[in-house]
Amino acid sequence: MTDLALVVVGLLAGVLLGTVFFGGLWLTTRHINRSRRVASLVLGSFVGRSAIALAGFFLVIKFAGLTGIVSALLGFMAMQLLFVRLSTKRPSTRCPK
């Protein structure tokens, strides 16, 4: 593969892994109030999300090398920024009447 293809594949993998990781975190935080076993939910979610992310990064390293993993980490961090931006409540910018 060319370097451009490795970068694109890495970015797509990072975006996918970031979506799974941070989407799972978002779902976990939404279900904490309804769970009877909060510690099990949080720990299980963390272990599952981490295992998926680490396995995905390992596959990227194996098949795309250094170029792929660097771009995958950039895609993962971009998804982190996106999820943080979407999940935080911002005060209204409208002027009160």
Distance (Å, whole) CA 33 – CA 77: 28
Distance (Å, whole) CA 38 – CA 92: 33
Q: For 3-37, where are the alpha helices, taking DSSP H only? A: 3-31
Distance (Å, whole) CA 68 – CA 59: 10
User: pLDDT digits over 1-23, tens only?
Assistant: 788 999 999 999 999 999 999 99
pLDDT score at 88: 83
Contact assessment for residue 20 and residue 83, using Cβ atoms and an 8 Å cutoff? no
Above 80 in pLDDT, residue 93?
no
- Which residue type occupies 5? A
User: pLDDT digits over 12-60, tens only?
Assistant: 999 999 999 999 999 999 999 998 999 999 999 999 999 999 999 999 9
Above 90 in pLDDT, residue 97?
no
Left (φ > 0), alpha (ψ -120 to 50) or beta: where does 65 sit? left
- For residue 89, what pLDDT band results from cuts at 50, 70 and 90? confident
